[in-house]
Structure 1
């Protein structure tokens, strides 16, 4: 049971996820909203997309780096997973820092660290160097993930209520899709793609690190930072039953993202025989892009229906992807992956919309810390285990077992939701 974990990410984690679904923070009045606020909202939204693009941009490079540097499958999955694990630890301890020192300093530091990550990853010549770069990226993205979400909420245009909700749910998935797609295109055509991609991330990050100082400060400094760094959290009693009913859907969705972000390119080259960087990148683009579109179109739907659809689509899509791998049918694989992607996005979106209304405002921090603890564990840990099994049973068998577990969890979540609806 995730009963006592970390309170600290609570404030920022709460703000991160609150606006995926609804509005709870008082907006800036129309008269007080200036061009500077609107510019700040745009910068925060662009920054959110860049942050998530930086998370997926390395994925198409993994097979190339594995050949050039010469590291094992276990090391390859560790390079991916260390990002998620370090991000989680930082989020849960430093996630609320912008509440105490202000949004702008934390955003500026986060983008500066992201620029340093880009330099380290671009110049790394060993698996240890790549792991160190990804660990630093995890720290940077933890600060940015929490603070950008809060800034988007803070700076939402008063004449566009609900826009922050859409941005905080759709832009991250669009960023994931754009990061891999951009890397694939550059790898297909550029002479030095690694330099081009990560220098680009570094330059944009440095620019944003300076640009955030033009934003209005929406979180005045106040004491309590050291106290906020102490970890503690739990699942409120009122939401505990629904939390565990949704847990298989949350795990299935985030584990799906981890699978294709880490092993999507090797699947394309080893199983389908495609060495096109663009097609390899298209796997994550299809998955994340479909998830973003599904969240956008589902925003007005009942959360129970969203979750039922999400678990069904994820289970069905994953089954068909496994069949497509057996048949070596790439067109069927991409279509099935797109269907699974809609489930990937809506599983998490529907889970949040089902759980969060059950708790009071004072309990949301610890609830969201539990949700994101579960999510990032599902994002990183299964990938490390998969990397350990690949040398023993092969990539194809490992992915098949991984996919079967995703189907099992998604189907379990769907059945639990259907039973709950019938009982209700």
Structure 2
């Protein structure tokens, strides 16, 4: 295909990024249907989330080792192909083994994409507008990531509620979007020429301000843990506590919490990283307080408000930490440092699903959520102390 401009390529890569993360989150409101059909419990759902995160980590390690050597476009093309293959497995093998394999493939796709897509957007933006705001690429990258994660449950929830074949049609729809994104990706100009050199280390640290880098990685873990908390808690709270069986409502509630993260990033895109961390540290306890109140009192309104505030705070925290990691990363090791950041972050995505599920069986959901919120606030406090302390004088 004829090559587009760097500006148009920037938009196409953002579309591919959002489509891939949407594919990774489509099954979220459908797990209730899988449970009802195959008669498995919450333990199997925890296993499904765990294998997805393992796939993400595996993809991140491959991308960290080879993305700078192979170039950006081939890695993104492979990620789109894997997500398409995951959709095909969901359609052709809907039993539990197929569900597990499809989630591994989907996780590999998201992991393979996250770091290289972010680096690709940064490089395309710099070539399209050398004098423009360098933070725009980081904002678009995190907004595409979170926007896709938020759009997946909404898409599948609406289709499951009002369209036929709820365990098949969502994968057909997102598969068409992924195929279109893969075709359009062929027109995007490459920004990192393939090089005949040995593979890099899959994970990399920065040489200077390593304390700031590690604090940013911890901040990414906290942010993803909040997204995982709301995604895991929404279907259980709506159906188990409030008795709402609507799949569309479950998808909409998840969309509100996750979409708030993307909206906050775009609305406050000019906020530098340090004030962004400060705003997140001040607002996230308020959101978690509403979530805890909602679970104890059985209030849908408090749950939605708490999810929106927590999601917005987590989105700001994620963007601030990602921007810091990009600023600290040398260009020749950007893929490795971004892989380190996303490995840490996506590990946090599984913690609420596995930990909250086990703790809920032992102590009940309200007590387990309260303990998880306190642990999250403790980690957030550590990030704020490290990130907001006075900068050393040069």
Tell me the TM-score normalized by structure 2.
0.87
Counterpart pick for 1:161 among 118, 129, 132: 132
Which residue in 1 is equivalent to 2:247?
Answer: 277
1:117 and 2:86 equivalent?
yes
Name the residue aligned to 2:53.
Answer: 84
Superposed CA deviations along residues 164-201 of structure 1, whole A, max 9, x for unmatched, are: 33321222222122211111211221121221110112
Q: Give how far 1:328 is off.
A: 1.0
TM-superposed CA distance for 1:323, in Å, is: 0.8
State the shift of 1:394 in Å: 3.6
The structural deviation recorded for 1:84 is 2.1
Alignment of 1:212-223 (within 5 A): 212-223=185-196
Equivalent residue, structure 2, for 1:184:
157
Partner of 1:233: 204
Q: Would the aligned equivalents of 1:88 and 1:142 in 2 still touch at CA under 8 Å?
A: yes
Q: Distance in 1 between matches of 2:328 and 2:15?
A: 32
Alignment of 1:73 onto 2:19: no
Give unmatched runs, 5+ long, in structure 2: none
- 8 Å contact kept, 2:117–2:141: no
Q: Displacement, 1:324?
A: 1.5
Give the structure 2 partner of residue 336 of structure 1: 306
Partner of 2:297: 327
Q: In the superposition, relative to structure 1, how do residues 158 and 352 fare at CA in structure 2: closer, same or farther (>3 Å)?
A: closer
| Structure 2 match to 1:147 | 116
Which region of structure 1 is more displaced relative to structure 2, 109-118 or 206-215? 206-215
Q: CA deviation at 1:406?
A: 1.6
Question: Which deviates more from structure 2 when the two are superposed, residues 387-396 or residues 279-288?
Answer: 387-396
SS in 2 for 1:155: helix
- The structural deviation recorded for 1:355 is 5.5
Equivalent-residue separation in structure 1 for 2:85 and 2:33 (angstroms): 22
Q: Secondary structure at the match of 1:46?
A: helix
Query: Deviation at 1:280?
Result: 1.0
1:194: which partner in 2? 167
CA deviations 1:269-306 (Å, max 9, x no partner) are: 11222212122112321122111121122222232211
| Structure 1 unaligned regions, length at least 5 | 1-32
Partners in 1 of 2:36 and 2:297 — Cα distance? 27
User: Alignment RMSD, CA only?
Assistant: 2.8
Report 1:16-415 matches (<5 A). Answer: 35-95=4-64, 97-156=66-125, 157-158=128-129, 161-162=132-133, 163-224=136-197, 227-228=198-199, 230-231=201-202, 233-234=204-205, 236=207, 238-246=208-216, 248-354=218-324, 357=327, 367-415=337-385
